[in-house]
Amino acid sequence: MKKFFSNKYICALTAVVCTLLWGTAYPLIKLGYTDMNISSVPDKLLFAGLRFFIAGIMVFIVCLFMKKNVFDIEKERAPKILIYSLLLTVFHYTFNYIGVGYASATKTSVLSAFSAFLGVLLAPLFFKTEKITIKKILGCVFGVLGVLIVNLGFFEGSFTFLGEGFVLIATFCSAAGSLYGKIVSKGKIFEVTAWQLFVGGIILTVVSLCLSGSILFTTEGVLVLLFLAFVSACSFSLWTALLVYNEAGNIMIYNLLIPVFGTMWSYIILGETEILSPLYIVSLLLICAGIVLVNLRDKRKI
């Protein structure tokens, strides 16, 4: 498995597939909210909780087909899985959903993309083998510029703690959770991913129910929920494998593609945005250049 996921071509392709799938979440969540009459934060947390709970079950099923014992988890790894789940699922999505209610979609998209930048900068703090290089810094700058260009409305309006502040906290939780997951998942990638999604889903569901969260189940809404669960199950499993077998910073820079793919899927599914504009193309080129720079080998360290 290590040889497969550490191959640079397979690694790049897998990372793009993950971000392409994650990009579908932007329009599909909107569809799910509409179909299931979801508006309040507790309702949204319930929707997210059910999504990750189902995703966890999906990965459990995959583990069974792979003949992996999901219950064979060392006692010392269990509390680490809980922390992993709290960071990447519970805290990340709780702060994100609340922040989205007080910040524009444009600002949310841009600020969320900073998880890639944080991942590159924080990776050396978690792993001694990873270093910050000039090319990585330039790659991050190019990538963030690309995201800003496709979201020119980012600089409009004011900054609020409950809005943009919470989105930034969610972004930090996402970056820290991904890096921590690289440590926790070694040796049991799919088993740990299954528990991380399953436990996080249960916690979010319980919290939302305590806050009187509710959703109206419809056929279309359930189909959207199941597909989003599949997206989480597939993407988180593959993404975790990439993080474990490669430098974390080199993988997390691909997160910059998520808002770009989100814009693309919003146009295809909802007809919201014109994606063939010159700015969109320039944005995509800058982000791709940033990804290439971060993944280039460089002996010079700073």
Per-residue pLDDT reduced to its tens digit, 132-173:
778 878 887 887 777 777 655 555 556 678 777 888 888 889
Q: Which of 137, 57, 139, 52 is nearest to 97 (CA)?
A: 52
Query: 266 pLDDT exceeds 80?
Result: no
- Separation CA 241–CA 225 (nearest Å): 24
DSSP state for residue 68 in the 8-state scheme: -
Q: What's the mean pLDDT when you consider all of the chain? A: 82
DSSP state for residue 18 in the 8-state scheme: H
**Model confidence pLDDT, tens digit, residues 187-231:** 889 999 999 999 999 999 999 999 999 999 999 999 999 999 999
Q: Give the model's pLDDT for residue 54.
A: 96
- Separation CA 158–CA 138 (nearest Å): 28
Residue ranges per structural domain of the chain: 2-295
Q: Are 270 and 27 in contact (CB under 8 A)?
A: yes
DSSP state for residue 156 in the 8-state scheme: S
Which residues lie below 8 Å from residue 246, measured CB to CB, with a gap of 6+? 5, 6, 11
pTM (2 d.p.): 0.83
Q: Which of 98, 117, 103, 100 is nearest to 156 (CA)?
A: 103
